[in-house]
Structure 1
Amino acid sequence: MQQYTPMIQQYLRIKAQYEDAFLFFRLGDFYELFFEDAIKAAKELEITLTKREGGADEPIPMCGVPHHSAEVYISQLIEKGYKVAICEQMENPQQAKGVVKREVVQVITPGTVMSQTMMDEKQNNFIAAITSFGKTKYGIAISDLSTGENYITLVNDGFEELIHTLSGMNVKEVIVAPNFSNNAQQELKKIFHVAISYEEHTSIREEFQNITQKLHTEHELITFGRLLNYLLRTQKRTLAHLQPVEILKQTDYMKIDLYSKRNLELVDTIRKQGRKGSLVWLLDKTVTAMGGRLLTKWIERPLIDRVQIEKRHEMVQCLTEQFMLREQLKGLLKGVYDIERLAGKISYGNVNAKDLVQLKKTLEILPDFVQLCYEFQHPSFSQFAERMPTTSQLLDKLSRALLDDPATSITEGGIIRDGYNAQLDEYREISVNGREWIKNLEQREKEKTGIKSLKIGFNRVFGYYIEVTKANLHLLEAERYERKQTLANAERFITPELKEMEMKILHAEDLLADLEYELFLQLREEVQEHIPHLQTIAKLLSEIDVLQSFATVSVEHHYVKPMFNEVGDISIRNGRHPVVEQVLTDTQFVENDIVLNDEKQMLLITGPNMSGKSTYMRQLALIAIMSQIGCFVPASEASLPIFDQVFTRIGAADDLVSGQSTFMVEMLETQYAVTNATKDSLILLDEIGRGTSTYDGMALAHAIIEYIHDEIGAKTLFSTHYHELTVLEEQLPRLHNVHVKAVEENGQVVFLHKVHEGAADESYGIHVAQLANLPEKLISRAKSILQQLEEENTIDKSNFVVNEQLSFFKDEQEEEKKSRTIEKTIVREIASLNLVNMTPLEAINVLYKLHEKVTRDGDKR
């Protein structure tokens, strides 16, 4: 340290406290970075890397950005997952004795950004704290610093359940204890691409007891305490806008695991990782940013409380039936600003006058909104009106205080309205009308002295003065005039009145700006007292916004109000996939019925690729989710049970990052479904077993079907290309065959996309290859080979033996298998397994190892 200059030593001391962040070190009008920070920042921000002398033998690497544009550069670093510590000058450099005092005033991290430019207005920016309690129990606390929202939930079923719980929360940063498992940290980074931060302290200060009243267990308090201490340590503010912590109970919402959220494309599409083409994209007719964020939360956490769901349905129905009132409501909502995030900015101290004008305009709308709610003549809308806080005093204060179009800066004036403060009005009068006052004074002095040549002037050295020629000096009252400057032919004087006005005029601009800033800070403090009311208003407006969005979509796309039944039946008439039907441009979506009940618990779906099996399955899941978030559904009629969970295994892709094959990914997702599903769940499994050999795949598919049918009893759609499995309809009483119809016309396959009773009679695989424009020579050869195989190796379904799940075929297939040494080994290994006491996951892992052994030894069938 001694080799460096005092300023660099100061930098190094501060940097040592923030080793995991870029230190933006304020030097005058720039934020400077030194040493490794400078080298890395210059590369990431594509700015010039320079050097400066710092007292050592070698110059120090340095780069910098102007403080007025620093937010742009900071946002680039945050988007890349870095953290930035803002170090400001805490005293005037001209008054400092020695090195200027500097302190870090804020640490900006991916989970704590407050700038509007760094956030998506319709997405929450959550930060999460995770605390482990033993091997299987975890606490999760999440917060959106920009809105003040806080949630907490406890997970009791291990790390995998923790992952599924975190999925969909749009978490940008995760806080853990320093001794948290390194392997777990790496998994979190890999799956969610989050920044990892550390916090040891978990005690909660007394001033925050009001927001933790719902927390009772030690695990809840420790988990939220870790989050709160991290926020206080990095943000260095009071955080008065933090809302009371809400406990998210897993039993209060439909559980949708990580795989299903991805497969169903609820918030993002699989291919483009964007909103367009997702369910939230389709349903988002919200007018406000607050409503957009709430919609995403509703989709991520559908309700399972029938009373709450049906209350939403009733309000949506009311909105669909009253077009004029709905349009008036949308018109009012268009004038609503994001007061939820404004409340955060007010508490944070970075709100400006334009923000408060936006708040004022929103508050002006509230009386009309309340009146409109009563006009719907519905109890739920009336309750909204009754719950709306009264803000007339705050509105009056803002209206009197702020200009309609104030300046953006809060330190340079131009924000406070005339008449709000007498002292301010006087300064403004002096500033605006100072020259006129000087002219009037000059005229009065001429009249009083009788000197027509008397004039009042100004220069930067002497300020204002009264100039009188030497011939007229005898006309002045000596006691009133103080000599200021002597010229060859004249004398310059100042009077007490002019001296006082000179001081006012010369300092009026500075005094005006300072006073306006002081008055604005006072106003901000007064508004801060209303933050709880503003947050209540935000919640009410956002909820109404989401409901009108549901109504708008339902009317535009001809959705119907779903009914619920207690017996667990599914009866959907003319159901449609809500997203697919909207993205089709040249064809009309084909509607299909879905009927499941106690006698028909499972549908085994067969049919060629591209025929619509996956779409048929997904539309059931989306209809179920839409119904339980309170939206109408794409059908002509729908009666559904309330599902506790939805599990999907649709589509397949290698997980190259973790090195897992398509087959292993498929098995893991299936394992999670069959392990966690209940009879009240919905299971959708698409072509299970296709990632391994034909016999293994059929065996596995058969076993899974039986297990779900006999052990779980959940409503299930199971699609397959193994037509041999259709014989299971005769063996499993609650399984029913259906197929997606396709016909052959002039040698070409035509997909009808219509689901019919019974099994498919042909796969049309080669026809699909033709549609993909494979070479005609290749297609002809495939047809020839297919004909030869069908003649030589016809499979007879009558030889399908249900009780021998791993040996489906007799005669020549059985002899062929026995002839292979490797297969004999596999059979012996299987025979030695204790299947009765084996968990589904253990069984899947054993099967995967057997599959690896077969493929490694050269049997690729």
Structure 2
Amino acid sequence: MMIDLSTIRSLELIQNLQNARSKECLYGLLNQTLTPMGARILKSNLLQPLTDPECLELRYDALSELERMEDIFFAVRQALKAFVDVDRVLTAITVIPTRPSIQHSEHSINNVILLKQYIKSISPVYEALGGTTSVMLREILERCSPGKYVDTEALIDDTINEDITYQSQPLDLRNQRTYAVKAGVNGLLDVARQTYKEANADAFQLVTDLGQTHELALEMKYDTARQYYIRVNASDLEERNLPDVFINVFRKKNMIECQTLDLLKWNQKIVDSHHEVLQMSDQGIQQLIDQIRQNMAPLFKISDAIALLDMIASFAQLVTTQDYCKPELTQALAIKNGRHPIREKIYAEKYVPNDAYATKQKRFQIITGCNMSGKSTYIRSLALMAVMAQIGCFVPASYAAFPIFHQLFARVSMDDCIGANISTFAAEMRETAFILRNVDKRSLIIIDELGRGTSTRDGLSIAIAVAEALVDSGAFVFFATHFRDLPKILAERNGVVNLHLSVDMGEADKMTMLYKVAGGAVQEEHYGLALAKVVDLPPDVVRIAEKVCNQLTANIEKRKKNSRTILQARRRKLILSLREQLVQAQEGNMKGRVLATWMKKLQDEFVNRMATLEVDVAAAAEESEDEQEMEGTNSTTPSRASSHDEQSGSMEWKSEPRYEMTGALQSETGEG
């Protein structure tokens, strides 16, 4: 799935908009990984979700098994804790320096030790996955089989001491580099190690003697910059000064850190002996790395398998603690009790779930409602659940089905871009233009409050034009708006559905947000005024606003008429909806008596709704004739032949009370 940068930012896929360090984003929610490789592949998947249904089904099955088999899940999670960042290590090993140095020799030994730890960590994963049955987990098991890395393990064991493990502390790291190569390989190397060992012992003895001489409790510490240094508690020096033998003195909280000239000399001797050890070890280490480079491909493949396993196990960690469901891949978008994954985790109060259903005949859904009713959260939750489904994760719902989306667009932010000198409206138009240039029928689009950055008339006009273009594109669109005329104007367009977020206004001067999606456009005309009362706007201001609003409404309201064009659009929409249901039945599992009963019910419903439309058309025709007579127009009534031709182009609905569904579908869709 292709996701543009603006959509990534506005949906908070990787980073929270208010606080860049916050985990309140989709990546922060899903990132329960235990390895650096797993975290990277998760981020990569969020930025480019999969579009291969077979691969997604394999991930769903693997996740289901880890969720179901607790013993395997806990064994896998425990095994993953031991892995280092092997991608970085393998990449560093492949690099050959043009000018070798002491630093390169240090890094080479460190990388070999890390690679040794990586190889030792593969076996527990192989053992943990021994009882799995899903195809993906079996493939990971096969990649982690001992035969894939046994040669490399033998090469490392021939050169590196078996008891050497990677350490993170600076002194431990220096010591492990010194004693990494096995003894007996090089006689001079053993002598250099003995010199290093004796110099360290002498440095410790020096500090011990200083403490006894000056009757101070001295503590010897090490860091990379200063090497060995001395620490003494400041409370031991309250009644006397620090002896002059101590130099490089500075205070750190309640401790005093210092050195002596003799200690500096021993530090230099230790460094020299350490470098001598590295130089003598480097030849054997470089020969080992050259041999390892010949078997790098299996190690990279194992790393990829571990990363994928870590991501799936991370999903399992989440879905076992949350009420998530396994999504299905279908041609329709259907969600039962869907929730916003991030908000559900952030807020303590119970999240109000909502349903969603969209097909090609219900692909453009207009969501209206008052401020704070939950429109933005609703459409964002659908986009986030689609992303989660297409990376192989379960979604926060009791049931969910998604088509495979190849593009995701979101126009939801309202921020001015000061750095780019772009206003709110200009940013809206730029992002909308990008959507219109790239949209196709495999896209999912969410748009929130398009056009509110300019005047009402211009904003409504642009919203209508953009909506018309998106309806024609065939994409799945969820369009949240405050323009009350937009759902009225587009109501009869094929593929358009009107929804709204419910609000309880049963009590005077009180609004209760229900956060539930309901069918149809919003009916309450003055939510803004009601909200103004709730937030204690001065009564005189509210009274004048109501007076002005009522006057404007009376001036704008016109007589509503049944348009023949609108009725024709309703008929076409009804027939296309019937066609879609028949196609779904053809591809479904209903058979025999169940299918016959459903078909009879569908036919009766279609006939009744079509008959109702026939009455509306007749009424519209009579009203039109009456208006023409009253206005004294000289318009000529269409001939019977032309009327017959016009009707026969769609269906024989005047002369025949029963409707032949196949013929209607042929006439309206051009298909049999």
**TM-score above 0.5:** yes
Q: CA deviation at 1:288?
A: 0.7
For 1:109-258, list aligned pairs within 5 A.
Answer: 254-258=1-5
AA of the residue aligned to 1:514: E
Distance 1:699 1:508 in 2: 79
Distance 2:532 2:459 in 1: 22
Matched, 1:424 2:196: no
Which residue, 302, 323, 327 being the options, matches 1:537?
302
The superposition leaves residues 317-354 of structure 1 with CA deviations (integer Å, 9 ceiling, x where unpaired) of: 11111111111111111111111112233345362645
Which residue, 481, 488, 496 being the options, matches 1:720?
481
SS in 1 for 2:319: helix
Matched, 1:323 2:70: yes
Q: CA deviation at 1:432?
A: 6.1
Q: CA deviation at 1:393?
A: 1.1
1:788/1:329 CA distance change after superposition, 3 Å:
same
1:515/1:734 CA distance change after superposition, 3 Å:
closer
**Which residue is 1:305 aligned to?**
52
SS in 2 for 1:579: helix
Which residue, 683, 699, 709 being the options, matches 2:461?
699
AA of the residue aligned to 1:358: L
AA of the residue aligned to 2:339: R
**Which residue is 2:409 aligned to?**
647
The superposition leaves residues 737-789 of structure 1 with CA deviations (integer Å, 9 ceiling, x where unpaired) of: 11001112341221111101111122522444566x5x642x64134322332
Which residue, 472, 477, 497 being the options, matches 1:736?
497
What number of residue pairs does the alignment pair up? 473
Contact 2:196 2:273 in 1 (8 A): no
For 1:809-828, list aligned pairs within 5 A.
Answer: none
SS in 1 for 2:511: strand
Matched, 1:790 2:550: yes
Contact 1:427 1:511 in 2 (8 A): yes
The superposition leaves residues 354-401 of structure 1 with CA deviations (integer Å, 9 ceiling, x where unpaired) of: 554333222212122122223213332222122233143145246527
Which blocks of at least 5 consecutive residues in structure 2 are unaligned? Answer: 96-103, 200-268, 566-672
Distance 1:430 1:684 in 2: 70
**Which residue is 1:781 aligned to?**
541
Q: Greater helix share, 1 or 2?
A: 2
Contact 1:267 1:279 in 2 (8 A): yes
Distance 2:410 2:115 in 1: 44
AA of the residue aligned to 1:742: V
For 1:666-705, list aligned pairs within 5 A.
Answer: 666-705=428-467
Matched, 1:572 2:335: yes
The superposition leaves residues 206-249 of structure 1 with CA deviations (integer Å, 9 ceiling, x where unpaired) of: xxxxxxxxxxxxxxxxxxxxxxxxxxxxxxxxxxxxxxxxxxxx
SS in 2 for 1:557: coil
Contact 2:63 2:315 in 1 (8 A): yes
Contact 2:407 2:442 in 1 (8 A): yes
Which residue, 296, 311, 318 being the options, matches 1:553?
318
The superposition leaves residues 438-476 of structure 1 with CA deviations (integer Å, 9 ceiling, x where unpaired) of: xxxxxxxxxxxxxxxxxxxxxxxxxxxxxxxxxxxxxxx
Q: Which has the higher contact order (CA 8 A, sep 6+)?
A: 2
Which blocks of at least 5 consecutive residues in structure 1 are unaligned? Answer: 1-253, 435-506, 805-861
AA of the residue aligned to 2:157: D
Q: CA deviation at 1:649?
A: 0.8
1:707/1:427 CA distance change after superposition, 3 Å:
closer
Contact 2:193 2:277 in 1 (8 A): no
Distance 2:182 2:84 in 1: 22
Distance 1:510 1:648 in 2: 61
SS in 2 for 1:599: helix
Q: TM-score when scaled to structure 1?
A: 0.51
SS in 2 for 1:408: helix
Contact 1:645 1:682 in 2 (8 A): yes
1:614/1:427 CA distance change after superposition, 3 Å:
closer
Distance 1:281 1:622 in 2: 13
Distance 1:621 1:551 in 2: 21
Which residue, 276, 280, 287 being the options, matches 1:514?
276
Contact 2:366 2:478 in 1 (8 A): yes
Distance 2:31 2:449 in 1: 32
**Which residue is 1:609 aligned to?**
371
The superposition leaves residues 378-430 of structure 1 with CA deviations (integer Å, 9 ceiling, x where unpaired) of: 33222212223314314524652774467434899454454554543455567
Distance 2:430 2:489 in 1: 24
AA of the residue aligned to 2:422: Q
Contact 1:411 1:517 in 2 (8 A): no
AA of the residue aligned to 2:141: A
The superposition leaves residues 172-213 of structure 1 with CA deviations (integer Å, 9 ceiling, x where unpaired) of: xxxxxxxxxxxxxxxxxxxxxxxxxxxxxxxxxxxxxxxxxx
AA of the residue aligned to 1:302: P
Contact 1:424 1:515 in 2 (8 A): yes
Q: Greater strand share, 1 or 2?
A: 1
The superposition leaves residues 250-290 of structure 1 with CA deviations (integer Å, 9 ceiling, x where unpaired) of: xxxx1111221111111112233345221111100000111
Distance 2:300 2:515 in 1: 48
Q: CA deviation at 1:302?
A: 0.7
Distance 2:448 2:270 in 1: 76
1:562/1:508 CA distance change after superposition, 3 Å:
closer
Contact 1:352 1:410 in 2 (8 A): no
SS in 1 for 2:478: strand
**Which residue is 1:361 aligned to?**
117
**Which residue is 1:46 aligned to?**
none
**Which residue is 1:638 aligned to?**
400
For 1:284-299, list aligned pairs within 5 A.
Answer: 284-299=31-46
Distance 1:516 1:260 in 2: 51
Q: CA deviation at 1:712?
A: 0.6
Q: CA deviation at 1:800?
A: 9.6
Distance 1:688 1:321 in 2: 44
Contact 2:189 2:280 in 1 (8 A): no
Distance 1:412 1:572 in 2: 57
Contact 1:576 1:589 in 2 (8 A): yes
SS in 2 for 1:679: coil
Contact 2:109 2:285 in 1 (8 A): no
Matched, 1:400 2:161: yes
SS in 2 for 1:732: coil
Contact 1:577 1:618 in 2 (8 A): yes
Contact 2:39 2:311 in 1 (8 A): yes
Q: CA deviation at 1:678?
A: 0.8
SS in 1 for 2:139: helix
Distance 1:509 1:265 in 2: 49
Contact 1:686 1:720 in 2 (8 A): yes
Q: CA deviation at 1:584?
A: 0.9
SS in 1 for 2:66: helix
Q: CA RMSD in A?
A: 3.1
The superposition leaves residues 22-63 of structure 1 with CA deviations (integer Å, 9 ceiling, x where unpaired) of: xxxxxxxxxxxxxxxxxxxxxxxxxxxxxxxxxxxxxxxxxx
Distance 1:739 1:514 in 2: 76
Which residue, 71, 89, 113 being the options, matches 1:342?
89
Distance 2:198 2:475 in 1: 82
Distance 1:429 1:785 in 2: 92
AA of the residue aligned to 2:547: Q
Distance 1:768 1:544 in 2: 50
AA of the residue aligned to 1:364: K
